[in-house]
Structure 1
Amino acid sequence: MDREQKFALVTGCGAGGIGEALVTEYARASIHAIATVLPNESSDHLVKAGITFFTLDVTSDQSILDLKGKVQKLTGGYVDVLVNCAGIAYTMTAIDTDVVAVQRMFDVNVFGPMRMVRTFHDMVIQAKGSIVNIGSIGGIIPFIYGSSYNASKAALHHWGNTLRVEMAPFGVKVITVCHVYTLG
């Protein structure tokens, strides 16, 4: 059966970021955009744009499971596009790195997408959809003071490359977008 309505679930849709821009464009293209924001984050920009949103912490299995229940109810069990956009940056000289801060960044930038795919893969497979990971040029070409951030994005890129091969037999595309990270 060919479904008329397509659904795009995008993590990390805070005001002024890549996620917000993506859900705005999906909505403009008549794709039902589902945005996520952190529980303590403003959603005024999404309300104003009329975009469906839910709270989500990609570092919490329970938060992701709660989101899945809401998305299943909304979509009937389909996610055509899952965009792993939630991310944080940490810039510091490699020798002065705060390992706890880097662990937190990896938890969001790498393990967050892993959790999302583990939880939502059945809905993406059902739709024969796509998984999009927002990477960074820093995962390919290192920039100074970004060793830890670069490492998190390199890990995401390589995980996504393997995921692409593993999901192909299910008719699911996996894409990594390399954005340019700018300081300031």
Structure 2
Amino acid sequence: MEKSKGNVLVTGCSAGGLGYALAKAFRDQGFHVLATVRNTSKAADLTREKNIEVLTLDVTSATSIAECLEQEGKAAYDVNVWAPLTVAQAFAPLLIESKGVILNISSIAGAVPLVWQGLYNSSKAAATFLSETLKMELAPLGVRVVTAMVGAIGTTLYNGHEVSLPKTSYYKPIEEYIKRQSRGEMQEPFNESVDATARNIVKDTLAGRRGQIWRGGEAGRASILSWLIPTAIRERILHADKQQ
């Protein structure tokens, strides 16, 4: 039997998501994967996969407050900001001892703001800066930190998610447009396969990359827009159809 290259801990491994695909991609590269999820029934298929161990882990439990979890903004920051920080702190001693790697999943939405999703955008921007700061802080201790700036991918993120505007909303005349975006229909033509994105992220990570890596549909374009294009021009490019 081939010897495992080591252990990889992947959080958020619900079926259909990027964490689920990453667990399989790391396993395919010869690693023993500890796939964690808040509800193991949502990752049932992984329990039958060789060299993947499914564990229960609620990454928000240390900071979540029951009555606030119903608020979308609080939930976004719990999952995208506080959870990665809590996990990094908890596993820091093991990572430093083993000279390990942290792979944080962020989004191009944190670098190129898109309308109607300000809370999500800002939480991913915070996640990116947190990850990039950890990169500098942990480098002297031998820990490599990678920040995946993920673009459009075909996951279950938008399943069952649709907004409904109150009658008094100033945006009521374009409610259908906003609903289409909340269902993920606006990005669907640009989606890359979640498995392809996961394989590319794993390849980059194992190749020794550090800092930001841009993967997924439209990620390359977003990278150029975020670094080279002035804000005013970038907004016109991204939102021309919304300014009619």
Partner of 1:16: 16
- Answering whether residue 58 of structure 2 is matched by residue 57 of structure 1, we say yes
Cα displacement (A) at 1:181: 4.1
1:26 corresponds to which letter in structure 2? F
1:11 corresponds to which letter in structure 2? T
| 1:32-181 aligned within 5 A | 32-39=32-39, 41-50=41-50, 51-61=52-62, 100-181=71-152
State the structure with bigger RCO (CA 8 A, min sep 6), 1 or 2: 1
- TM (norm. structure 1) is 0.74
> Which stretches of structure 1, 4 residues or more, deviate above 6 A after TM superposition?
none
Give RMSD over aligned pairs. Answer: 2.0
Say if 1:35 and 1:151 are closer, same or farther in 2 by CA, change over 3 A.
Answer: same
1:142 corresponds to which letter in structure 2? P
Say if 1:41 and 1:150 are closer, same or farther in 2 by CA, change over 3 A.
Answer: farther
State how far apart, in whole Å, the 1-side matches of 2:14 and 2:81 are. 19
Deviations along 1:51-103, one digit per CA (max 9) or x if unpaired, are 201011111139xxxxxxxxxxxxxxxxxxxxxxxxxxxxxxxxxxxx92101
Partner of 1:28: 28
Please say which structure displays the higher CA radius of gyration: 2
State how far apart, in whole Å, the 2-side matches of 1:30 and 1:40 are. 23
State how far apart, in whole Å, the 2-side matches of 1:7 and 1:40 are. 19
Aligned residue pairs total: 146
Which segments of 5 or more consecutive residues in structure 1 lack a partner in the other structure? 63-98
State how far apart, in whole Å, the 1-side matches of 2:21 and 2:43 are. 14
Cα displacement (A) at 1:153: 0.3
Q: Percent identity?
A: 37
